[in-house]
C-alpha cells in the first residue's frame, strides 16, 4: 500500500477520514529539505493554495497514511490532480521509526500570493490537531494572509 504524506489541511484526521475513509494514519514525521508555502493565487477561491517547495534549510510536518487505491483515486479528484492543479512527487519522510518513502501533492503553479485567513487558520488547526510542535503551529498562525469577506 503506498504511503501518502499529508500536509496543510489534510493533517486534520477528521478531514482525511472523510476524504480517504479506508486509509489509516500510520505515523507523523518531517519532510526535511522542503518548505510549506502557498501559490496559485488565481486558482483558489480565497487566495493562494498550500504546496511544498524544496528548501535545504526547512522541513514540513506531515502525517503518513496507508492509502488504498480507491482512496487514492478519491483524493486525486479532491485535490484536483486530474485537472492538473497538483502533481504527485515521491519523497522521503523522517519518522521516529526511521525513514519512509511516500508521495505527496505539489502544486503545478508558481509560489507566491497569500492564503486567506480562514484557509491559513484551517492549516494551523490541522497541524495542531496532528500533534505538530507549538513553534511550527505558531509560525503558521503568524504568517501573512488575506482578509477575505465583508
**What residues are annotated to the active site?**
79
What backbone torsions phi and psi does residue 29 show, to the nearest 5 degrees? -170, -165
What residues contact residue 144 under an 8 Å CB cut-off, 6+ apart?
114
DSSP 126-143: HHHHTT--HHHHHHHHTS
What do you get for the CA distance between the two ends of the chain, in Å?
A: 45
User: Known binder of ligand: residue 5?
Assistant: yes
User: Known binder of ligand: residue 4?
Assistant: yes
User: Known binder of ligand: residue 65?
Assistant: no
User: Known binder of ligand: residue 102?
Assistant: no
User: Known binder of ligand: residue 127?
Assistant: no
What residues contact residue 134 under an 8 Å CB cut-off, 6+ apart?
none
User: Known binder of ligand: residue 9?
Assistant: yes
43's grid cell: 486558482
Task: List residues forming the annotated binding site for substrate.
Answer: 4-9, 119
Task: List residues forming the annotated binding site.
Answer: 4-9, 119
Amino acid at each position: 500500500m503506498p504511503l501518502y504524506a499529508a500536509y496543510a489541511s489534510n493533517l486534520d484526521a477528521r478531514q482525511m477520514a472523510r476524504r480517504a475513509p479506508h486509509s489509516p494514519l500510520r505515523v507523523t514525521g518531517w519532510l526535511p529539505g522542503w518548505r510549506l508555502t502557498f501559490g496559485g493565487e488565481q486558482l483558489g477561491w480565497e487566495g493562494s493554495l498550500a504546496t511544498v517547495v524544496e528548501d535545504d534549510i526547512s522541513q514540513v510536518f506531515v502525517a503518513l497514511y496507508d492509502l488504498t487505491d480507491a482512496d487514492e483515486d478519491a483524493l486525486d479528484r479532491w485535490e484536483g490532480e486530474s485537472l492538473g492543479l497538483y502533481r504527485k512527487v515521491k519523497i522521503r519522510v523522517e519518522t521516529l521509526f526511521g525513514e519512509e518513502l511516500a508521495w505527496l501533492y505539489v502544486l503545478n503553479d508558481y509560489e507566491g500570493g497569500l492564503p486567506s485567513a480562514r484557509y491559513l487558520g484551517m492549516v494551523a488547526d490541522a497541524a495542531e490537531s496532528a500533534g505538530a510542535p507549538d513553534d511550527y503551529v505558531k509560525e503558521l498562525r503568524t504568517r501573512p494572509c488575506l482578509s477575505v469577506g465583508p
